[in-house]
Amino acid sequence: EAEVAQSPRYKITEKSQAVAFWCDPISGHATLYWYRQILGQGPELLVQFQDESVVDDSQLPKDRFSAERLKGVDSTLKIQPAELGDSAMYLCASSRNRGGTEAFFGQGTRLTVV
Amino acid sequence: AQKITQTQPGMFVQEKEAVTLDCTYDTSDPSYGLFWYKQPSSGEMIFLIYQGSYDQQNATEGRYSLNFQKARKSANLVISASQLGDSAMYFCAMSRNQGGKLIFGQGTELSVKP
Taking chain B (114 residues) in runs of 10, the rounded mean pLDDT of each run is: 94 97 95 94 92 93 96 97 97 84 96 97
- Are A92 and A32 contacting, i.e. CB atoms less than 8 angstroms apart? yes
Nearest CA in chain A to B35: A102
Cα atoms in the Cβ-side hemisphere of radius 13 Å centred on B52: 12
Distance CA A80, CA A73 (A): 23
For A40-80, the pLDDT digits (tens) are: 999 999 999 999 999 999 999 999 999 999 888 999 999 99
Cβ contact B47–A93 (<8 Å) = no
Q: What pLDDT score was predicted for residue B96?
A: 83
Residue B77's pLDDT is 98
Give the separation between CA A41 and CA A46, rounded to whole angstroms: 15
Given a cut of 70, whether residue A84 has pLDDT beyond it is yes
Is the pLDDT assigned to residue A101 strictly greater than 80? no
A106/B44 touch (CB, cutoff 8 Å), yes or no: yes
Residue B54 touches chain A, beta carbons under 8 Å: no
Tell me what pLDDT residue B99 has. Answer: 66
Q: Within an 8 Å CB–CB cutoff, is residue B78 touching chain A?
A: no
Q: Are A7 and A24 in contact (CB under 8 A)?
A: no
φ, ψ of residue A86 to 5 degrees: the values are -85, -5
> Which residues from chain A sit within 8 angstroms of residue B35, using beta carbons?
102
Q: Look at residue A7 and tell me whether its pLDDT is greater than 80.
A: yes
User: Mean pLDDT for chain A?
Assistant: 93
Option in B43, B50, B105 nearest A102 (CB): B50
Q: Say yes or no: B96 contacts chain A, CB-CB below 8 A.
A: no
